[in-house]
Structure 1
Amino acid sequence: MGQFVADSMILSRIRERLDDPAEIARRMRQLSERMHEDGLHMEGRPYRIEARPLIVTAAETAAIDANVRELYRAVEHALTLYAKDDEVRTLFAEYAPAQDAILDVPPYTPLIPHCRFDSVWNGGGDFRILEVNAACPSGVVQIPMATRAWLSTQWAADLLDGLPQEPYPMLADPDAFTRALLAAAGQAGYDVTAAAVVNLRGVYTNELEWLARSFHRIGLEAQICDARSMRERSTALWCAGGDYQLVYNKLDPLALLTDPAAGQYVDMLRRHRAYSVNPLVAQTIAEDKAILAVLSDPRYAGLFDAEHRAAIGRHVPWTRLMRPGVTTDPDGSRHDLLDFVARNRQRLVLKPANLTRGESVLVGPYVTDEAWAAGIRAAATDRYVVQDYVRLPSLRVPAPDAGGWRDVFVDLTLQVVSGRLAGYFSRCSSGPVVNMGVGGSLVAVVQLAAAEPAA
């Protein structure tokens, strides 16, 4: 049973069980207020959560997990190419001043302990990633908490009555994420008794408290620290009011690398005195959208093996760094890149290479010629990528304020820990840029058990 079958089933149940849009609105407002009172928020803003879930079956999860593992290996390999290949490094010229620090890669694998694949999913086991999010992305604690809050309501019980559920790891265990990090640190040779959640100048504070609490619950001392306060007391331990053998970096990596007051912390990261989630090479190169150009451009295909190339072909859309020159288009024909982009707004997306939360993204079919031309001008003075437009599927949700129903764009984000699928979350929006930071809503993701019910 794929997404669209489940979509019809859930819509039918909503209509059967509650056909009053005002009542739906009231229940969802109450849930959002309750979550906010419990400390669940997006940088101080209440979570908005939709009335209906997105359904994934156990069989789909198994197929998605297998594909995640293959793609993850290709992304990990792309990071090693940054160290080995001069031409690959030209795609990441912005990081040249910090190249030595980035190339001090940890002496263990994986190089990306945690990342997200923000994806387009239409049911089944296949997906197309829009970006890799590796700068310690949000949602590891709060999204499962919000999903559990939704599932605890009578409204969810009514909708899912008779549908056996099998929660994915980060939903089943509130501390699955921090347990996985602790296990990965142990496998890398670190004896961890304490963890620091490291921030910089109060930017990206989402989830800091919840992460520290989760580390506490699994038996570690934990503290929220500013990177500027970190000090090195010995050859093996970190100090900021205590000794830490695991650091979770919840910060802007570009700000970290250019902030003189954080220089000592960067030096400690380079010496790998603690297990770092994520290390600098992941937070910069894997986080940068140009990594998708490394993966998808045929000029680099010979640097990947056959299994890598197969995974890339299935899951990575055509992507190029915006710079002058001739390249192949999404159909394989050769063009001057900038001329091709100027003439093909309807099939392309322009994105800043290293901004987050949907900032300055231009989805060609939904912007004017003038806005597209302005985006191309911006790309001439900043680092942008251009990507083949992969349309997000639509999800029909109640429209309580206006009454009736509305169709929204919906994504599926894959939480990846140590190369395995660990959890999901989904966001929806009336516009083609789907992000909680720009007005999107959360959609609870529910995994059905292996025995699928009749629709």
Structure 2
Amino acid sequence: MSPTAVPHFDTYHNLLLADAALAEDSADVLEQQLRQDGLFFGDRALCSVLRPRFLTLDEYRLISRACCLVGSAFDKVRVAAMADAGLRSQFGLTSWEEQLIHADPGFPVASPTSRLDAFFAAGEDGLKFTEYNAETPAGAAYNDALSSAFLALPVMQAFNRSHIALPIPAGAGVVDSLLQAYHAWRGRREKPSVVILDWREVPTYSEFVLFEREFHARGIDAFIGDPRDAEYANGRLTVAGRPVTMIYKRVLIDELVTREGLDSPVVRAVRDGAVCMVNPFRCKLLHKKASLAVLSDERQSGLFTAEEQMAVRRHVPWTRVVEERHTEHTSGAVDLVPFVAANRERLVLKPNDEYGGKGIVLGWTVDDATWEAAIRTALAEPYIVQERVEVPSEPWPAMVDGAVHIGDRMLDTAPFLSNGSTVAGCLTRIATDPLLNVTAGGGSNVPTFLVEAR
């Protein structure tokens, strides 16, 4: 919990606790806003608490600076890996991924839109990036819609009499990054015909609707489409019969190839350069969880400036691909597999290419036998091991049985990056489960606001 935020949310909570009618009205308005804008993940409301996440401007600056330096280091690793098969092998790509990442997307940035997922505890080195979502970062439009919903709450209006609380937009940064990539691909500035592409049954469909509105507000033709409805003929891609020049790719590359194949209309059109797709296939390299292992491995330190090296040491927890080798740890040189076996309480095992918390084993939550079995799995298929980080918590107000209840929940900090370096908004997820993953079926999203006393 950030010490600078304490007086701000204490003031907010006291407003709710002191006035039952204000709290009840605020809960009613929030529920109405959630239903009006379809802010549900599947059939579950996206937000279940009555307060946004507060960051001070200094905290947001710290996050932005760290993202800029770590993002720069990620791109240097990517560029080096694209030119060096030996370095690239550390990422654990499959044979078909190795094929696809070499397709030229028509623009220079591998991940025009991305998200660094972190935990932000107190202290100078409290910000720790634990994953890099370089492929399909969700939540930006949800953040903006939730921000609008919270601005309408009566309690927020009361809070604004003593504090300045400003939302941090994220969706516009995503759309702007998409358009920059399209203009580079096209070679001139013109409006694309956009399909927001994913399976029609996914629980994030409600966010696609929000992005569709964002495109329409800019006078851009956009619609939501399913890869199963795509056709490619005569150098032209259509989805459900509608011509497409840009794909806002929300479908996972793994799922696209597994379900539709490398010879599917979408894959062929992108590889032929007949359509612009963001993020492109080459985003897959850094999206692998092994990217944090490659980034923090002593073998790559020479790629970075002194400032980037310091940022990686401060903000990326010690991470390695699980394999038989010797490596450096903060405690000194270690034999990796025996070290992992002996330090269950301080380590996490993660599959290299899963999402939604699947396959993650938190060493301190399991017994020795389960941990040993997890290590055997990790040696048989691509896995990373990562140092445990402090997971912060804050008190959050919610309506329970008609009254305000304030209870602690853990929270993460997940800034959105435009073109790999510029922070544009920040996702916050809260939960009682340390995985803090909405996709996994737990937790709640809250909008992120900048706050300062008047």
> Is the partner of 1:259 in helix, strand or coil?
helix
Structure 2 counterpart of 1:146, one-letter code: L
Give the distance between the partners of 2:370 and 2:26, measured in 1 at CA: 39
Give the distance between the partners of 2:244 and 2:184, measured in 1 at CA: 17
Which residue matches 1:441?
444
C-alpha deviation, 1:110, in angstroms = 1.5
Provide closer, same or farther for how the CA distance between residues 443 and 367 of structure 1 changes in structure 2, counting only shifts above 3 A: farther
Structure 2 counterpart of 1:110, one-letter code: V
Which residue matches 2:276?
275
The answer to whether the 8 A contact 2:11-2:159 is kept is no
Provide closer, same or farther for how the CA distance between residues 33 and 115 of structure 1 changes in structure 2, counting only shifts above 3 A: same
- CA offsets, 1:47-85, max 9 Å, x none? 133222322223332343233222212112222233222
Provide closer, same or farther for how the CA distance between residues 311 and 276 of structure 1 changes in structure 2, counting only shifts above 3 A: farther
Which residue matches 1:416?
417
Q: Which moved more, 1:161-170 or 1:141-150?
A: 161-170
- CA offsets, 1:176-235, max 9 Å, x none? 532442234224425333111111474464322222222222111112222243334555
The answer to whether the 8 A contact 2:395-2:409 is kept is yes
1:321 and 2:321 aligned: yes
The answer to whether the 8 A contact 2:92-2:290 is kept is no
Give the distance between the partners of 2:11 and 2:299, measured in 1 at CA: 49
Give the distance between the partners of 1:381 and 1:19, measured in 2 at CA: 57
The answer to whether the 8 A contact 2:115-2:137 is kept is yes
Structure 1 counterpart of 2:387, one-letter code: D
The answer to whether the 8 A contact 1:14-1:159 is kept is no
Alignment of 1:5-404 (within 5 A): 5-19=4-18, 27-28=26-27, 31-32=30-31, 34-122=33-121, 127-170=127-170, 175-188=172-185, 189=187, 191-200=190-199, 202-203=201-202, 205-206=204-205, 207-233=207-233, 238-240=237-239, 241-261=241-261, 263=263, 264-282=265-283, 284-331=284-331, 333-398=332-397, 401=400
Provide closer, same or farther for how the CA distance between residues 447 and 353 of structure 1 changes in structure 2, counting only shifts above 3 A: same
C-alpha deviation, 1:414, in angstroms = 0.2
C-alpha deviation, 1:34, in angstroms = 4.1
Give the distance between the partners of 1:417 and 1:204, measured in 2 at CA: 24
The answer to whether the 8 A contact 1:203-1:252 is kept is no
The answer to whether the 8 A contact 1:394-1:407 is kept is yes
Q: Which moved more, 1:138-147 or 1:372-381?
A: 372-381
Give the distance between the partners of 2:20 and 2:320, measured in 1 at CA: 44
> Is the partner of 1:164 in helix, strand or coil?
strand
Structure 2 counterpart of 1:298, one-letter code: E
C-alpha deviation, 1:358, in angstroms = 1.7
Give the distance between the partners of 2:141 and 2:242, measured in 1 at CA: 24
Give the distance between the partners of 2:327 and 2:149, measured in 1 at CA: 48
C-alpha deviation, 1:97, in angstroms = 2.9
TM-score normalised over the length of structure 1 = 0.88
Q: Which moved more, 1:240-249 or 1:397-406?
A: 397-406
C-alpha deviation, 1:107, in angstroms = 3.7
The answer to whether the 8 A contact 2:199-2:227 is kept is yes
The answer to whether the 8 A contact 1:410-1:428 is kept is yes
Give the distance between the partners of 1:308 and 1:412, measured in 2 at CA: 20
The answer to whether the 8 A contact 2:106-2:184 is kept is no
Structure 2 counterpart of 1:445, one-letter code: T
> Is the partner of 2:118 in helix, strand or coil?
strand
The answer to whether the 8 A contact 2:37-2:145 is kept is no
**Count of matched residue positions in the alignment of Structure 1 and Structure 2:** 444
Q: Which moved more, 1:397-406 or 1:251-260?
A: 397-406
Q: Which moved more, 1:124-133 or 1:245-254?
A: 124-133
Give the distance between the partners of 2:436 and 2:21, measured in 1 at CA: 25
C-alpha deviation, 1:33, in angstroms = 5.7
Report % sequence identity.
28
Give the distance between the partners of 1:125 and 1:56, measured in 2 at CA: 15
> Is the partner of 2:140 in helix, strand or coil?
coil
C-alpha deviation, 1:307, in angstroms = 4.3
Structure 2 counterpart of 1:412, one-letter code: T
TM-score normalised over the length of structure 2 = 0.88
Provide the aligned C-alpha RMSD in A.
2.8
Give the distance between the partners of 2:412 and 2:128, measured in 1 at CA: 10
The answer to whether the 8 A contact 1:200-1:256 is kept is no
Provide closer, same or farther for how the CA distance between residues 151 and 162 of structure 1 changes in structure 2, counting only shifts above 3 A: same
Provide closer, same or farther for how the CA distance between residues 405 and 175 of structure 1 changes in structure 2, counting only shifts above 3 A: closer
> Is the partner of 1:62 in helix, strand or coil?
helix
**What runs of 5+ residues in structure 1 fail to find an aligned partner?**
none
**The structure with more strand, counted as a fraction of residues:** 2
The answer to whether the 8 A contact 2:119-2:413 is kept is yes
The answer to whether the 8 A contact 2:351-2:382 is kept is yes
- CA offsets, 1:390-437, max 9 Å, x none? 111121223654975432211111011123111112111122111112
Q: Which moved more, 1:71-80 or 1:52-61?
A: 52-61
The answer to whether the 8 A contact 2:107-2:181 is kept is no
Provide closer, same or farther for how the CA distance between residues 124 and 74 of structure 1 changes in structure 2, counting only shifts above 3 A: same
Structure 2 counterpart of 1:431, one-letter code: D
Provide closer, same or farther for how the CA distance between residues 301 and 64 of structure 1 changes in structure 2, counting only shifts above 3 A: same
> Is the partner of 2:313 in helix, strand or coil?
helix
Give the distance between the partners of 2:102 and 2:24, measured in 1 at CA: 51
